[in-house]
Amino acid sequence: MQVVIDYLKANQDRFIAELSEYLRFPSVSAQSQHKPDMAACAEWLANHCRQIGLSAEVCPTDGHPIVVAKTPRAPKSGRPHFMVYGHYDVQPPEPLALWKTPPFEPVIKDGNIYARGSTDNKGQNLAHLKAVEACFKTGTPLPCDLTFVIEGEEEVGSASLDKFLKSHRKELQCQAVVISDTGMPGLKFPAMTYALRGLMALEIKLHGPSHDLHSGIFGGAVENPAMALCQLLGQLRNKNGRVTIPGFYDGIVPLTKLERRQSALYPLKDAALKKLLGAPALFGERGFTATEQRSARPTFEINGLTSGYQGEGGKTIVPSWASAKITCRLVPNQDPAHIRKVVCDHLKKICPPAVRLEIEAGHGAEAYLVSPESPNARAALRALKSAFGCEPILMREGGSIPIVNQFKKILGAESLLLGLGLPDDNAHSPNEKFNLECFAKGQCMSAHLWRELAGRQTTKQP
């Protein structure tokens, strides 16, 4: 193992240069103008996998391509097989004016690499590839077979990968899926995430007059859709931070005392969180700590709100329409389809007759919860400890990785969430970065992981 670790150490500068190349692709899955960049990024990634010594394919889909790369297989080896999942697509970089350096021109500063997609998720998936490279180039045999599945639609709901899993069920069957696409509280706090929140997305639009009107001539005699939207949305949460939609909380399993005690140990405390977020105060559902609120409680969020004149100066109009992009984060036992129904039913019920409500459904994903005590989970914790040199913590996280439920349902495989992102990485925000020490330690963790995981598998004979 020491030769692998030494190789990783000796090659960091090149790895960082390669990560920079990867980050230069503006692989924004949500924006159709970036379709060619998505394809180019997938090609680059597949080529990179081949250089490392993997066999790699760019698999076309109805949406963005999926890169599948495999370690050379010995015939009928009966060795354990693990999947490494990641994504090369990134969130839109907007608002561009808030970036200190351009989002797709990586810059290294104070031990961090700044670029859209650096922490989420290119830096994290490249760390796993580098560990495999180190094993190959030092002639260190891997104790298991690996398949890398790096998709291009994670940030838009993973629809194509869902189909791909169904049509490639057999070849993707594996003992577990390893994913570094979550976080850790700090460099001294490596972590394994055992729960993620789910998601339900929709967009609503309130239609008023058929065109924007002079607010002096007509205002007062016709409903203002922007005002109606504010009043509609304003009713959906009360002053205690509780969502008021009937049925929203039905069936949620309360946190156990043990879980609450565990989450209280999470090292990022309220004062530090407030500072990190730059908000005047923290706010959330009464009766829960901030850690619980952002990882184990459901939310109703407005992601974007649009209506009327947005340009320079003023414009006296009654806008013709107003719209909102909405997502709810969900916790275990909340079914996305059911939540969509209770939200839509309620909106229809309370929408005033002076505007017409249009609802467009978005993607949905269930929450994820896995035992942190399984043999695979324990093996992963040992690998974290070896790489970071301190005891890893267990945590729930509030983000979503929609496909993890499909790994379980379609492949029967649990996901091990071994995130390398830091709380101040600015994922989905301007000035996203990835800490280069997280990159390096992540590579070591991955190198240790295959031994720990494979060492304790009972190999199935073919």
Residues that bind ligand BES (CB under 6 A): 120-121, 154-155, 157, 181-183, 196, 199, 363, 397, 399-402
Residue 151 near Mn ion by CB under 5 A: no
> b or e along 168-179 (b: 16 or more beta carbons within 10 Å of the residue's beta carbon)?
beeebebbbbbb
Q: Which does 199 bind (CB under 5 to 8 A by kind): Mn ion, ligand BES, none?
A: ligand BES
Residue 121 near Mn ion by CB under 5 A: yes
Q: For the CB of residue 315, give the shortest distance to ligand BES in the complex, in Å.
A: 33
Q: How far is CA 249 from each of CA 263, 285, 331, rounded to the nearest angstrom?
A: 21, 12, 9
Binder of Mn ion out of 18, 37, 89, 120 (CB under 5 A): 120
For residues 89 and 151, the answer to whether their CB atoms sit within 8 Å is: yes
Residue 259 class from Cβ within 10 Å (0-12 exposed, 13-18 middle, 19+ buried)?
middle
Q: Which does 432 bind (CB under 5 to 8 A by kind): Mn ion, ligand BES, none?
A: none
Pairing of strands 112-114, 415-417: unpaired
Angle at 248 between CA 352 and CA 423, to 5 degrees: 110
Q: Which does 89 bind (CB under 5 to 8 A by kind): Mn ion, ligand BES, none?
A: none
Q: Which does 399 bind (CB under 5 to 8 A by kind): Mn ion, ligand BES, none?
A: ligand BES
Instruction: Report the residue number whose CB is nearest to ligand BES.
Output: 399
Q: For the CB of residue 457, give the shortest distance to ligand BES in the complex, in Å.
A: 27
Q: For the CB of residue 423, give the shortest distance to ligand BES in the complex, in Å.
A: 9
Q: Which does 435 bind (CB under 5 to 8 A by kind): Mn ion, ligand BES, none?
A: none
Residue 460 and residue 50: Cα distance in Å, rounded? Answer: 28
Q: For the CB of residue 179, give the shortest distance to ligand BES in the complex, in Å.
A: 9
Pairing of strands 191-196, 393-397: parallel
Q: What would the DSSP string read from start to end of 135-180?
A: HHHTT---SSEEEEEEES-GGGT-HHHHHHHHHTHHHH--SEEEE-
Q: For the CB of residue 87, give the shortest distance to ligand BES in the complex, in Å.
A: 6
Place of tokens 């829960």: 288
Binder of Mn ion out of 145, 181, 397, 425 (CB under 5 A): 181
Residue 153 near Mn ion by CB under 5 A: no
Query: Angle between the 35-52 and 123-137 helix axes, to the nearest 10 degrees?
Result: 20
Nearer Cβ to Mn ion (112/262): 112
Q: Which does 207 bind (CB under 5 to 8 A by kind): ligand BES, Mn ion, none?
A: none
Nearer Cβ to Mn ion (155/452): 155
Nearer Cβ to Mn ion (94/345): 94
Q: What would the DSSP string read from start to end of 249-271?
A: TTTPPPPPHHHHHHHHT-SS-HH
Q: For the CB of residue 118, give the shortest distance to ligand BES in the complex, in Å.
A: 12
Phi/psi region, residue 426 (left: phi>0; alpha: psi -120 to 50; beta: rest), is left
Q: For the CB of residue 3, give the shortest distance to ligand BES in the complex, in Å.
A: 32
Nearer Cβ to ligand BES (84/206): 84
How many Cβ atoms sit within 10 Å of the Cβ of residue 320? 16
Q: For the CB of residue 165, give the shortest distance to ligand BES in the complex, in Å.
A: 16
Q: Which residues bind Mn ion (CB under 5 A)?
A: 120-121, 181
